[in-house]
Amino acid sequence: MGKPTGFMEYDRQTAKAEAPKERIKHFNEFHTPLSKEEQKKQGARCMACGVPFCQSGMDIMGMTSGCPLHNLVPEWNDLVYTGNWEQAYNRLKKTNNFPEFTARVCPALCEAACTCGNYGEAVSVKENEFGIIEHAYEQGFTAAKPPKVRTGKKVAIIGSGPAGLAAADQLNKRGHLVTVYERDDRVGGLLMYGIPNMKLEKHVIDRKIDIMREEGVEFITGVNVGKDVKAAKLLKEYDRIILACGAKNPRDIKAPGRDAKGIYFAVDFLAATTKSLLDSELKDKKYVSAKGKKVVVIGGGDTGNDCVGTAIRHGAAAVTQLEMMPKAPNQRAEDNAWPQWPKVCKTDYGQEEAIAVFGHDPRKYQTTVKEFLKDKNGNLCGLTIVKLESKKDEKTGRMVMEEVPGSENKLEADLVLIAAGFLGTEKYVADAFGVSLNERTNVQTETGHYHTNVENVFTAGDMHRGQSLVVWAIREGREVAREVDLSLMGYTNLEV
């Protein structure tokens, strides 16, 4: 602990965001990183706790507290403070294959469990992570390091999202020959087409993929395994298969009028915008435009917020976001004590932008769609929405959201984006390999393991655990790599 009094001397600082009305003019990242000197002060704020909850990654009351990757947060905070950036990078990379991704898109479970945050403001861990990895790229610490010895074992990974990439990175470092299959035209999966550019610019992904290619990982894009390539062919050609195809089966809204023209799944809306942006800077018009439209986003999570921010950048005339659940409190409730994840109201970048542009928060809480309204040509023209209230289910004893009688209301809309989450694995991939699914339609394995019911076939990431965070996908990728390596070699020295 380099600065015992740092947390008392320095205030928390984070990267400054561009003003909402300015940043909506573009699709780029919009934060200005901290200076090196300020970064050192933020590192000095770390208390080097005897029990560092920030790196615990444990389950408390059904929610993760601390980093699932068990990042060595106090160690690299101290190294930032002392200016030992290269060693800070080495400690960071010991547990995290892709800090350039998590420093941008992770909700910072580490900060929520920071001891400093129990008494004041948490250490700005994400800022330090960002500073370490970007400095490492600037100084060449991240240069490709191909394995010196190859085992001759071949592994195919289906899906190039964070789980697939983490598994590929680990297994390649071990010396196995790794090929990653991706059905889209670009590598990255969720990172490439599921997360908007303003949160994660795509050159950041390409920069890392180029290094992985130099290190020997082969990437094959535009190939849909299970359709373009038979599973049997891959099982014959490779010693092991890892299925990391994500949970891209979107949850629908079953209400009258669902067939109206102008209703899209959020994932399709966001992906089309990003692809058009990368292909032509939106000039090809091959995306669903929200320009001049009254947009309703159904869903209050990160994806719903991304839809709000994207629609505003398109030039939407109005944006409303429907959330089924009640508004969370602004501060921790008494039954939500630290170091649990804080169940508090978060106003994200998209909502901030809506407030700046339209003058009010776009969210309507405890509200859902009762009917989609169509005009005579079948085009969406509005919604019937209804208020919800929490009631106890007499059969199960659980609290459920039920309609409030007589609370129906009309809402104008000509574009609806459904961001209600995902249901699990796309069935055709599971069927192609013959793997079993559980009741949540995720690929089934023994608890704590990644081997499926099919010999030599493993799984990881959202396809295995259901829709989750990038940081959890990376952890699963590392763990499945270790299990695959053990099955191939009889022992493993891969870390998780």
> Which 8-state DSSP code applies to residue 53?
G
pLDDT band at 1 (very low <50, low <70, confident <90, very high): low
Q: What is the mean pLDDT of residues 162-190?
A: 98
Q: What is the mean pLDDT of residues 288-312?
A: 97
Count Cβ atoms below 10 Å from residue 124 Cβ, excluding itself.
27
How many domains does the chain fold into?
3
The number of helices, as runs of H, and strands, as runs of E, in the chain is 18, 18
Least reliable range by pLDDT among 86-90, 235-239, 438-442: 438-442
Binning the chain into helix, strand and coil, the percentages to the nearest 5 are 35, 20, 45
Mean pLDDT of the chain: 96
Neighbouring-strand partners of residue 372: 383
281 and 410 belong to one structural domain: yes
129 and 199 belong to one structural domain: no
Quick one: residue 342, left, alpha or beta (phi over 0 = left, psi -120 to 50 = alpha)? Answer: beta
Q: What is the mean pLDDT of residues 45-64?
A: 92
pLDDT of residue 202: 98
Among 326, 255, 328, CA closest to 296 = 255
> Residue 195 maps to which CATH number?
3.50.50.60
pLDDT of residue 3: 86
With respect to residue 148, please indicate whether it lies within any of the assigned structural domains: no
203 and 135 belong to one structural domain: no
Among 370, 266, 387, 371, CA closest to 323 = 387
104 and 88 belong to one structural domain: yes
292 and 387 belong to one structural domain: yes
Task: Indicate if the pLDDT at residue 239 is higher than 70.
Answer: yes
pLDDT of residue 399: 84
- Residue 200's alpha-carbon distances to 102, 118, 219, in angstroms, are 10, 30, 21
Task: Enter the tokens of residue 148.
Answer: 């010196």
With respect to residue 258, please indicate whether it lies within any of the assigned structural domains: no
Neighbouring-strand partners of residue 427: none
List CB contacts of 413: < 8 A, sequence separation 6 or more: 262, 294, 295, 296, 320, 380, 381, 382, 383
Domain of 389, in residue numbers: 263-418
